[in-house]
Amino acid sequence: MIIKVNNLVKRYDDLIALDHFNLEVKEGEIFGLLGPNGSGKTTAINCILSLLKYDKGTIEVYGRPMAPDAYDIKRNIGIIMQNVAVFDELTVYENIDYFCGMYIKDKKKRRELVEEAIEFVELDSFRKFLPKKLSGGLLRRLNIACGIAHKPKLIILDEPTVAVDPQSRRKILEGIRKLNDDGATIVYTSHYMEEVEEICTRIAIMDKGKVIALGTKDELKGMINSGEKITVEILEHNPDILEGVRSLPNIVSAEFNDNMLVAKSRRGKNNLSALLEYLRSSQINVGRIYSEPPTLNDVFLEITGKELRDHA
């Protein structure tokens, strides 16, 4: 076990930021911490890294108690925090070299690692640029390079794609997969459920300082009763069909969005075919048809009664 957190409690005066928080991260996985802003993700990361004192609980990394002066453990950890942390007066190359130099003293080896990191985040054309000359997406990629240049075995990324353009976001996600393929264990926090669902092997959903659900994306979706969302284009708009659709077995709700009928179902077989059979028997002409499986937002909604998106 790479990370083991047991019964962690962190208070800020009357606010309980972590409420008996538990976590286990296995070697070689991409572990996702998913939750809305304010759910405790960043506080948990800061406690694991011994950047914050906590009130109760235990934290082990690589099977040993984590502490502020556990430098031999910290050498094997790469940290990419939500707020970009680079030096404004240093170039791209100099920034990466500085952070790599905190762990690697041999100049020749460090030079090789810095070049690898620059190539990895595709910043070769920007190596002499100061950070203020970089776009938000490029700045995020520089931040990642500074955190991973020393080849850590454990990499923690806290909301690394916040406020970046789609191209940079795609590059970052591809880079995370590559780091994992090369042997790194990844802890990835986000409130973007699509990203977590795409890249993480296991996911913990957080709310109010607790892990409220844990498993693979399929295991999480199997915990709830929500089924597929079916969207059907109705060529001849007829609001009277809503009552009939809502009466079908396993249909939870049905609404019109312009000329699109959107029906949400419970878990079960043949929900789509039953809906289409009803529309056919009612002589309703249909166009395009979409069927989407439940999302992690549906898991969060069913467990907490609120939308994950609404709190991001």
Per-residue model confidence as pLDDT tens digits over 107-155: 999 999 999 999 999 999 999 999 999 998 899 999 999 999 999 999 9
pLDDT at residue number 312: 43
pLDDT at 311 over 70: no
- Quote the longest CA-to-CA distance of the chain: 77
pLDDT, mean over the chain: 92
Q: Which domains does the chain possess? A: 3-221 (3.40.50.300), 226-293 (3.30.70.980)
pLDDT at 191 over 90: no
Q: pLDDT grade, residue 163 (50/70/90)?
A: confident
**Contact yes or no for 31/200 (Cβ under 8 A):** yes
How much is the pTM? Answer: 0.85
Q: Which long-range contacts (CB under 8 A, 24 or more apart) does 270-277 make?
A: 271/227, 271/228, 271/230, 272/228, 272/230, 274/248, 274/249, 274/250, 275/230, 275/232, 275/245, 275/248, 275/251, 276/232
Q: Is 310 left (phi over 0), alpha (psi -120 to 50) or beta?
A: alpha
**Contact yes or no for 78/155 (Cβ under 8 A):** yes
C-alpha span between 293 and 291 (Å, rounded): 7
Residue type at position 295: T
